[in-house]
Amino acid sequence: MLRVLGPQLSTRSTDNPVIFTLPNLGPFMSLRLPPSTSTRTTTRAAAATNTVTVPPAGLSKGDTGPKVKQLQDALVKLGYLTAKQVATGPGTFGAQTETAVKKFQADKKLPTTGYYGEQTQAALKKALSGTPTTPTTPTTPGTKPAVISAPSPNSDSRNGADIDTIVMHHTASNDGKADLSWMRNPKSGVSAHYMVDRDGKIYQLVGDDKRAWHAGKSELHGVPTDVNARSIGIEIVNDGSGKTPFTEAQYKALTELTSHLKEKYDVPMKNIVGHADVAVPKGRKNDPAPNFDWARLRKGIS
């Protein structure tokens, strides 16, 4: 406690710290007092409030609980949701939260599924830490090569899975027209996202956002998983014998297409594989073929 006898105490008030000036006690003297306990407590509380926890991946519309609230808090901090919006359903993954996730995914060049998966979680961590989530050059994925639309009914939902793999196949024939017709036939039960014909023309059968039926029972790097749900499938017109060469036009088109997909979906090089690498049991498939030049493709997309 400060006790002053004599002349009236005058003060100059500031928010922090508080300075008391006693003008008539000899030489000019000021006493600087530390901020009050309540001020320090408020400061610590504010700092704690600004701390946002990034929840684990695996959240989607309809989920509820504290993990959803953590996601909402992160989206509020980044400006994709408002506190008022969250107040209408804290901890509930509803339409507003899904829309916010999609906007965030679009900004980070991720598939706009609205599903909070591993890629979205990684991007959220980087965004909150202030680390850029996409390269500054180029700012958009490599140009997608020209494709010919040839829709196939053979697809279904990815169920929110992020795209992180590209699988190469051979069509088991050298007749692109027949191969295309087969993959568009509902009775075949097979499809791929793209087919690269002998002349280098690229056909798109299934949208990237859909799950094509190309990998069958599969694993990735020895771990059983639904490869179809997380991958883009590319069929290359070739009989797969190891004797029929892949054409120059095919390598050129395949390099352009794979480069675009790799950059757009941030696919690691190790996840650009052949059907032979993921098919279960091992040896069930030999795609894209023993004579496929992997070194050439990887050099072109690195």
Q: Who wins on pLDDT, 90 or 288? A: 288
pTM listed for this prediction: 0.58
Q: Which one is predicted more confidently, 290 or 16?
A: 290
The mean per-residue pLDDT over the stretch 71-96 comes to: 82
Q: Report pLDDT for 48.
A: 40
Per the DSSP assignment, residues forming a β-bridge with 235 are: 169, 195
Question: What is the pLDDT, as a whole number, of residue 61?
Answer: 85
Mean predicted confidence (pLDDT) in 88-109: 84
CA gap 198, 247 in Å, rounded: 6
The mean-pLDDT minimum among 21-25, 41-45, 82-86, 257-261 falls in 41-45
Domains defined along the chain, listed by start: 1-46 (no CATH), 53-129 (1.10.101.10), 148-301 (3.40.80.10)
- Tokens representing residue 300 in the block: 């072109």
Q: Which member of 235, 248, 256, 263 is catalytic?
A: 235
On the question of pLDDT at 35 being above 70, the answer is no
Task: Check: CB of residue 157 under 8 Å from CB of residue 211.
Answer: yes
- CA-based angle 298:140:101, to the nearest 5? 110
* pLDDT of amino acid 236: 98
pLDDT band at 94 (very low <50, low <70, confident <90, very high): confident
Instruction: Examine the pLDDT at 98 and tell me if it is beyond 70.
Output: yes
Tell the residue number behind the tokens 């490599």, with chain if given: 142
Determine the average pLDDT of the residues in 100-104: 89
Q: Give residue 147's pLDDT.
A: 97
Record the tokens describing residue 6, joined without a space. Answer: 């004599």
User: What letter does residue 266 receive in the DSSP assignment?
Assistant: T
103-152: pLDDT as tens digits: 898 888 888 888 999 899 999 999 888 744 443 333 345 689 999 999 99
Q: Which residue has the higher pLDDT, 203 or 110?
A: 203
Longest dimension (CA), the chain: 108
pLDDT value of residue 118 = 87
pLDDT of amino acid 14: 42
Rounded to the nearest integer, the mean pLDDT of the chain is 83
Q: HSE-up of 284 (CA within 13 Å, CB side)?
A: 12
User: Which pLDDT score, from 0 to 100, does residue 86 have?
Assistant: 75
For 109-145, give the DSSP string.
Answer: T------B-HHHHHHHHHHHHT--SS-SSSSSPPPPP
Residue 64: phi, psi to the nearest 5? -140, 165
For residues 130 and 70, the answer to whether their CB atoms sit within 8 Å is: no
Rounded mean pLDDT of 184-196?
98
Q: Is 263 a catalytic residue?
A: no
Q: How does pLDDT run across 163-185, given as a tens digit for each residue?
A: 999 999 999 999 999 999 999 99
Q: Which pLDDT value is given to residue 50? A: 58
Backbone phi, psi, residue 255, to 5°: -65, -45
Lowest mean pLDDT among 25-29, 50-54, 281-285: 25-29
Q: What is the pLDDT of residue 139?
A: 36
How much is the pLDDT for 84? 73
Contact 273, 223 (CB under 8 A): no
What local confidence, expressed as pLDDT, does residue 89 receive? 64
